[in-house]
Structures are given as C-alpha cells and as structure tokens.
C-alpha cells in the first residue's frame, strides 16, 4: 500500500510536483508530464516516452541527457491521455521529428496513436516504437500482442543514443525497433500491489506460491507455481528466455529488475546464478543492471530482461546517460549544454481554450447536459469500488478509480464551460477532453473520444432534438469503434454501446420522445452488458486471462450501462434549465 499520500485523486499531480522540485536541475514540468530543462537541439530527434505513474523510475525518472527528452505521465497504472502525450511532444519537438516509445498496452496504444496523428497533421514528423518484451503474454508468432515491461529501458536507451548521434527519424525508429525485436523479459510476483487510497490489493498470491507472467499494472499472473528458491527462480528466468535466443547471439545486456518490495540485496542473491547460467550458455554479459527500473508500487516481484546485442546495440547500451534515476558514464556528457527554456513564455502558450459562440437554444440546453454529467459522476462514485472488484477478476482492478477520476474531471469541466457561456456541443466536447486527461487508460480515451464526438455532432447552433441526439450517439459509437478497434463480441464497452445506439435510433425513429427512447435503449444496454459474462476477451489487459474472465461481465460495458441508466432520470425532467 502507499503510506505517504494526501487526497488519492491528486496523487499523480502531487508526485509530479515533488519530482520536479527535487530534480529541477534536470527536468521541468510541462503540460502532461515532464521534459528536459534544456531545449532539444534543432537537428535532433526528440524521444518521448511515457505511460502510467506507479512504475518509477519509469517513466519520468528516465528523462535527461542520454535518455528521453520528455515523458508523458498518466495517472497511476493508467496511460496518459492523447492530449498529454501531444503536449509533452510539442514541448520538446524539433523539425527533425519525434519518436514515441512506450509499453504495448491498449490504452497507451490508443492515446499515443492519436497524439501521433495530431503531430503529423501539424507537420511535425512522428513515428512510434512499442515495446513488446514480455514473453509470457503472447507467443513468438504474436510478438505484436506482447506487453512491454522492464525491456522499456533498453529500447529507450537505444532510441535516445541514436537521436543524440544526429540520426534521422527513420534511422532512430529502425534502431529502436531492432532493439525491441532483440529484447525479451519474464516477470514473477510473490504478492500483489495496492493503489493509493485503495483498501485491498489488486490481486493476491497464496502463501508459498508465486505468480508467473504478471504485468506491471497489478494484473494477476498467467500461471502460478510453488515459491522457488533464488537459484530455482534464476533457472526459470534463464531457461525460458534462452528459448528465444537468436542464432549467432553471443553477447547480452541484462536487467534484473525489482518490482517494489524485492530489494536489490535479494536480487544480487539470484543474479549470481543468472550470470552463471548465461555464461554457461556461451554468452558474454555486457554491463548488467541490477536494481529497480520498472516497478509496480510495493509489489513483491522481479523480472529478468535480456537483449541480444549486436555491435551497434552494444554501443548504445554502453553509452552515457544522466537522468534523475539512471546515471551511467556521465563523464562523457556535457551536462551544461543546451539552451535553457523560458518556462514563463512556454506556460503562456497553454492559455484556456476560447469558447465558440452558441445559439440561445443550445445554451438553454446546457443545464440539462451538466446535470446529466453530474448524474454520471454520482453513479460512478457510488459504483467505483464494485467496478474495481469486477475489473480485478481478469484485469488490473483500476477501472472504477479511472472512471471516477474521469467523471469528476468531466463534471468540473462541464460546469466551467456552462459558466463561460458554452453551448451544448462545446460543453460535451470539453467534458470529454477533461475525462480523457484525468482518467487515462483505454476507457478514459474512449469516453473522451465519445463525449467529444457527441458534442461535435450536436454542435452549438440549435436545441438537441431527439433525432439529433440519436445521430450524435451514433457519431460517438463510430468514434469509439474507430479509435478502439473493438467489435461486438470482443468483451468491451462496445458490446453495450452498439445495442444502445441501435435501440435509441429505432425508438426515436418510431416517434418516441427522447426520454422514453433513452430509457428503453438503456435497458437494452444493461441486458447486453450482463450478457458479456458469457464472452471471452479478445482485446485489452484481460486478454491474457481469458478463462478467468469467463462468467464475469465486462466492467467497461457494465459502467457504460450504469451511466446511460443514470442519464434517463435527467432526460425525464421537464424544461431545459
């Protein structure tokens, strides 16, 4: 559990503030995360990394000379929003372009991809390398589905080295991708971890047992075995990873990583056997790292990462770096080099978004829009713990907390928009942006995209009629399926959203009033959400735990149905104010 905290909902904001205060000689705070204190040289590709908080030193601790130029910081165990990634990238971008790199999780993919699209559309060249080193999360024939764990460090190091060599964006991308292809990891856990403010761990491991193949977001292991000795664990690690040794590989970078509660002294006990086994297999170990590099709060666990080196990758692995949490051969770096950023001028660029004009009819409807979002927030507040327990069956247990953060931010943003004279469409769009920024993760991104699409379709020029609302809901559905790539049957919120959209359109088409049509459609969404208990997940963090998910409805579908039902009462009210 976390012992030092104030309001759990402000945990990430407060840790970021403290991190920057403690490391102000190296980093500065930017919207969405942190960046190097100095500007990126004009001819150098900027390497932007990121992911959820709760993994220190990943990701903010790896920003500095010889490593990343910026890090987007999501909430605990939740990906940063697309806007956060975009903002960090803009703060460090140069004409040479931006390389985005992060662990391969659905929420990160969704948000980083949206940020990449926006950067490219603005004329800033942008490429991506996803880290896929976790051998237990998918087979060799499905490497693109593997998760990213402690192998992140290798890929980030290689990308940053190539960037600081002045290589082109295409060359930086290619070398980072090669590092990823030649990196494998395996993790184990002896206990689960607990989110700040939560009373229970995200998962537990029975006494005398060890979970094998868990992720770094509190996901339970894919397998479970008897608790081994340090020597036995070393054999498990090395035997499994050597199975993917490429032909001709004879030099290897090694990271033995502690996940939070297993301390470095314990790792050294295991490392002796690991080194013996690797050298016994004819491998030369190059500058091994033993310590904490990608953690999961107080999870008791460890992971082993191997990178099969070639001449170029070895040069990158040996190169100097100087960051708040990772320092290597710093004598080879000019730490004073680079133009200092004018932080006051940079802050002025982040001015509040201007509210566009709206018709009187649209502004009159805003009161009901705000009450609907408040009803959603109240419902999520009430159901957050239950949603978290539902998510913990096969996921990482943070769905309720993430939804709570998103709904709270959306409620505040909607009220602010209304006070500033926004129309219904703009109010919904700004609420969606706030939801995505604060919730993070896959569901945060999808809810943000849905609310923004809903608002954009409704617009600010007229009162939202039943027909226009049905069309706007269809636009929201299209946004969710386009960005999330999910289909009905994948066991996601789409399994409730599509039936709701179809039902609403049908009832409105029959001439029913919006409140009546919405109530019927919400009932259909609820039934569809309950029916997801019979499905097996094909996307997201629950995918590696398909059998554990059987018999349990999808938390995203359930929370969507709950919120749609909550809006029913608001629509049944008289008047628009």
Residue whose C-alpha is closest to residue 313's, from 458, 178, 463: 178
pLDDT in tens, 154-183: 999 999 999 999 999 999 999 999 999 999
Active site residue 217: yes
pLDDT in tens, 37-81: 999 999 999 999 999 999 999 999 999 999 999 999 998 888 999
Whether the CB-CB separation of 455 and 428 falls below 8 Å is answered with yes
CB atoms within 10 A of CB 489: 13
Q: Mean of the pLDDT values across residues 214-228?
A: 83
Task: Please name the fold of domain 360-571.
Answer: 1.25.40
Domain spans in the chain, listed from the N-terminal domain onward? 8-329, 360-571
| Tokens found for residue 575 | 């008047």
DSSP state of 145: G
Burial 20-32 (b: 16+ CB within 10 A, else e): beebeebbbbbbb
Q: Mean of the pLDDT values across residues 525-537?
A: 93
User: How far is Cα 408 from Cα 404, in angstroms, rounded to an integer?
Assistant: 6
Q: How does the average pLDDT of the chain come out, rounded?
A: 92
- Tell me what pLDDT residue 576 has: 46
Split at pLDDT 50, 70, 90, the class of 574 is low
User: How far is Cα 321 from Cα 266, in angstroms, rounded to an integer?
Assistant: 26
Checking 517-524 for CB contacts under 8 A at 24+ apart, the result is: 517/466, 517/470, 518/564, 518/567, 518/568, 518/571, 519/568, 519/571, 519/572, 521/564, 522/561, 522/564, 522/565, 522/567, 522/568, 523/565, 524/499, 524/500
Split at pLDDT 50, 70, 90, the class of 330 is confident
The rounded percent of the chain whose pLDDT value lies above 70 is 93
Q: Give the strands of the sheet with 209-212, arranged side by side.
A: 223-226, 209-212, 183-189, 301-308, 251-258, 284-291
| Tokens found for residue 122 | 């603005």
Residue whose C-alpha is closest to residue 95's, from 43, 162, 38: 43
| Statement: 8-329 belongs to CATH 3.40.190.10 | no
Q: Which residues pair with 386 in a beta bridge?
A: none
Whether the CB-CB separation of 135 and 244 falls below 8 Å is answered with yes
Residue whose C-alpha is closest to residue 155's, from 285, 53, 307: 307
pLDDT in tens, 441-471: 888 999 999 999 999 999 999 999 999 999 9
Give me the catalytic one of 55, 217, 399, 545.
217
């Amino acid at each position: 559990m976390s012992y030092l905290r104030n309001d759990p909902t402000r945990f990430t904001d407060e840790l970021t503030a403290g991190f920057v205060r403690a490391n102000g000689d190296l980093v500065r705070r930017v919207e969405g995360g942190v960046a190097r204190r100095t500007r990126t040289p004009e001819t150098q590709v900027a390497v932007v990394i990121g992911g959820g908080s709760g993994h220190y030193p990943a990701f903010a601790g790896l920003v500095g000379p010889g490593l990343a130029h910026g890090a987007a910081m999501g909430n605990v165990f939740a990906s940063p929003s697309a806007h956060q990634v975009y903002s960090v990238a803009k703060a460090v971008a140069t004409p040479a372009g931006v390389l985005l790199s992060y662990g391969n999780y659905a929420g990160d993919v969704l948000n980083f991809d949206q940020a990449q699209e926006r950067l490219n559309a603005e004329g800033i060249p942008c490429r991506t390398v996803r880290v896929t080193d976790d051998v237990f999360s998918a087979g060799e024939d499905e490497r693109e589905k593997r998760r990213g764990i402690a192998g992140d460090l290798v890929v980030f190091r290689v990308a940053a080295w190539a960037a600081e060599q002045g290589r082109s964006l295409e060359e930086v991308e290619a070398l980072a991708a090669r590092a990823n292809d030649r990196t494998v990891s395996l993790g184990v856990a002896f206990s689960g971890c607990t989110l700040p403010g939560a009373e229970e761990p995200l998962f537990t491991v029975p006494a005398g047992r060890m979970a094998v193949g868990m992720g770094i977001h509190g996901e339970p292991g894919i397998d479970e075995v008897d608790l081994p000795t340090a020597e036995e664990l070393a054999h498990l690690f090395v035997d499994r990873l050597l199975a993917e040794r490429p032909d001709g590989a004879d030099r290897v970078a090694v990271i033995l990583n502690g996940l939070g509660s297993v301390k470095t002294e314990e790792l050294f006990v295991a490392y002796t056997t690991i080194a013996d086994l690797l050298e016994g297999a004819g491998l030369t170990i190059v500058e091994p790292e033993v310590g904490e590099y990608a953690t999961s709060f107080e999870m008791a666990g460890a992971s082993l990462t191997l990178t099969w080196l070639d001449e170029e990758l070895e040069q990158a692995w040996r190169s100097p770096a100087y960051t708040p949490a990772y320092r290597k051969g710093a004598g080879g770096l000019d730490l004073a080099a680079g133009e200092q950023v004018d932080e006051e001028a940079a802050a002025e660029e982040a001015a509040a978004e201007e509210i566009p004009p709206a018709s009187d009819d649209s502004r009159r409807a805003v009161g009901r829009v705000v009450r609907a979002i408040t009803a959603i927030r109240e419902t999520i507040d009430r159901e957050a713990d239950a949603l978290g327990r539902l998510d913990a069956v096969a996921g990482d247990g943070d769905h309720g907390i993430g939804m709570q953060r998103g709904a709270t931010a959306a409620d505040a943003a909607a009220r602010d928009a209304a006070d500033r004279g926004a129309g219904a469409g703009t109010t919904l769009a700004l609420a969606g942006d706030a939801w995505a920024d604060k919730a993070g993760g896959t569901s945060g991104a999808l809810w943000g995209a849905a609310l923004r699409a809903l608002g954009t379709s409704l617009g600010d020029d007229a009162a939202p009629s039943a027909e226009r609302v049905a069309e706007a809901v269809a636009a929201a559905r299209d946004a969710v399926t386009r960005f999330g790539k999910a289909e009905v049957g994948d066991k996601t919120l789409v399994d409730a959203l599509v039936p709701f959209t179809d039902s609403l359109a049908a009832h409105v088409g029959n001439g029913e009033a919006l409140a009546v049509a919405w109530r019927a459609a919400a009932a259909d969404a609820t039934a569809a959400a309950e029916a997801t208990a019979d499905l097996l997940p094909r996307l997201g963090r629950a995918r590696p735990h398909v059998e554990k998910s059987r018999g349990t409805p999808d938390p995203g579908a359930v929370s969507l149905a709950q919120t749609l039902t909550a809006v029913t009462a608001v629509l049944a009210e008289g008047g628009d104010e």
